[in-house]
Structure 1
Amino acid sequence: MNDNNEMDIFYSKLQTYIDSLDIKKRNKYTIKNDMCLDILSVLKEENNNVSAKFKFWAKQTFRLVKIGSTDFVYVKKHNLPLVTHEQIYYRVVDCHVAVGHSGRDKTWAEIKRLYAGIPHQAICIYINMCDTCQTRRSFPTPISGKPIVSLGFLTRLQVDLIDMRSVSYNNYNFIMHAKDHFTKFSWLYALPSKEAINVANNLRNIFYTFGPPKILQSDNGKEFVAKIILDLKLNWPDLIIINGRPRHPQSQGLVERSNAVVQHMIGKWLEKNKTSNWPDALGPVMLAINNSISQSTKKSPYEMVFGQTLRIDHDFWEEIQKQSKNSIIINEEEIDESIINEFNLFNEPLATKNSTCIDISSPISNLLSNESDTECADKSCQNTPHKRIREEAEICYLQTAERQLNNYNRALKKQKIYQINDIVGLKIANVDRSNMAPSILPCRVIQVLASEESLNTTYKVATLYGVISDSFSSSDFTDLSQTVSAELRQLDIKTLSSITFIQACQKLTHYKSNQVCKCVGTCDTNRCPCKKQSIKCCSKCHRGKCTLCQNYI
């Protein structure tokens, strides 16, 4: 779109705003050329057909300044030249470019320094139209996400990797973090690389120890979509594997938020122990997380999984140390009976006084119980402490989910409903852009996918580079309807091919245009694509593996 068409749009929007004002303010909100000529004639005291009221206002407000042979009208209050309605667009553009597209406030300050007669609303209109500014503005905070409800241990297991390559230790570069959605129980494993085989082996370790989950949820990384991960279904056919949308961490927000907690706790442990051996910190950190009370369930993950609190009887062992004759207890018979009576080894009896169940804390009772006793126990022991813990946690869990759902529904009702051909923006992830590139991907809505079951409507969008294969909700967008976006509005979508969201972002930002290498060696021969093109390997090369690359930046 040329400058004339852009100027026409600007004046159309400015006139629409002027027409919305009170009728008394419309005529003098901006000074048009005809009125400026009348003011000039009044200041020159020439004969004209204007009212006395207009003459009085003109002489009180303006003064005549002659520069060379040209007469200019200055505003007395600011002692600055008057800009007429027809010149506002050019002056706003000049000042906005002069301050380097710095935004509304700095553009307004520059205009106030140089000119008079330009309203603040004109700056707002132009900046909302400026494609360069709108694709680099901060993305609005998204609404609260729709809560995931997964009742029961290992109903849904979320998995993610934490990048530790900046503090690599003993060839360990990543942390695999798995978290159960209901109990919030966490597993942490140190990995040498992001290879799928390492992830799969640790997942098998969890599955064989605790049993497989119903749903295994992860992001869209290569380490989670590899064949070896999908082959887990061969051992566990009922396992459902879910991969989130690329560059959309909100789809598994629980483990993403927990990643930050894990990193902070590791940092504190390293500082406290004055070491850089972070793989050794995973055990203490994992125990601390699993022994902390969760806000959503009001129980600790350890207590919910195992039905009892963590065995940390520090006072018990101190008392044994004091009363024992030897410094080390070798046989159980050496423990004083008074100590055992004073400190009950079983902090929480697993049966109530009124229960007819056998006391499972006694191994003799377990051995002597016959099948009929067991059947009786199964029928009468319906309310064990472990079950009560899970039921209480379930109530708190559902209450938290209900509050989140209410917040989500309220926010959803306030969302804008977009129509076909509306211009919207999608946030570009930092890994797909340089520091100077746009942070918002302009798109045009080409299809509205209404949902009958919920208020959430999804949309298909197109960019200058193709139709994005994914669909998006309105919470993923920022409104760019005020921008010019001439090429996007005139785009013929029939000629476009399908493209991924990441590809569209990288084409807009011209980022990572060179193909990264997947070498596992030293990258010192032309077999390495980067070396062959005479470019240096970057952090995207080698698939995150620890290599002996000699072609690094």
Structure 2
Amino acid sequence: MDEPDYTIRLAQTSSSEPDFREAFDAAVEEHNETHQGSQKKPWTQARVDEVINEIKNGMDTFLSGLRRTAMEYYWMNKYEVITVDGEDQLIFKRSSPEDAVIRVLPREQYYDYLTEIHRSSEHGGRDKMLHCLKTKYYIPKKAVELFVSLCPKCHTKRNSINKDVLARQNYALKFNVRGLLDVIDYQICPDGYYQFVLNYQDDATKFLNLRPLKTNEASEILIELMKIFLTFGAPTILQVDNRHEFAEKLKEEVTALWPECRVVHKNTLAKGNNKEVEELLHSWMLQNNSTRWSVGCFVVQFETNDSVHKALGKSPYKSLFGCDPKVSLGVTNPAVLLSLHDVEITVKVEQEVESGENVPGLSSDEET
């Protein structure tokens, strides 16, 4: 079934807030009636209140030692009820008290909460709003999409033709014209073998590649650059920060492999990119209670490339490939990634022990 063009409804009204609210509420209701069956009812205020009562009654029944009804058992396994300022609120079931409290909002409140988030994010798009929502509130993805598509200010912005919009269409054509290379020093927080992070970013699309390094020697940096260049191609100009000792040696090695790649030394690389990477890595380590930034750098790399870049107006991934990733990264617990990291570390330790090399100390959460 074809999706109705909800923007037509907005175009028939003025851009005032009451008309926006009315158009949004009507679009959400129409979508619910068209797409959702009886097994997936919308979260109206009446339904939220009904589930809250079921959970409270089920808790009373459970505490009295009686048998709960099937519905009480079902709702108590999926949701909880908390009281904030005298108001009962429905939240998703948490495995521990430290987990984020994600409130299920009734449909009648979608507009008010989305308006506040949309304004605070400076009229951010769907992905930015979903990111702001994911640890606080549950609002269906479709409702967020409808809100953004109907926002009068965003609608005007999308329809305005300017040079920036036209330039964005050509970012992919400028890919590999200039690449920016820097190395971030993590010696104060080593991850076992790893003490540095290679930070390589395409200047036009802002597509980012991060690689953990044991040293900042030119030979190791060249190996990682070779992996990147043999995947995406080498840039016409490779800009290297001349603060690093490896800069001159790297120039010789790169031009030997890619003669048409011109390596330039400058100390004008955007320090903001390094700072942003460090902040995102620090945030990842705190969220996952892990110091294994050699794993986290790949997660940060993907999330950065999948996030809207302010200068581009879209994600680096979309700037390069012309579309968003078909499947987003949905793993909040990196146990699988960390377990693979453990296997890699174990294999390397065994190889170096067999070869008689010195094995550096492992970080605290890699020790067995």
Higher helix proportion, which one? 2
Please state which band the TM-score falls in when normalised by the shorter chain: 0.3 to 0.5
Question: Whose Rg is larger?
Answer: 1
Scaled by the length of structure 1, the TM-score of the pair is: 0.28
Scaled by the length of structure 2, the TM-score of the pair is: 0.41
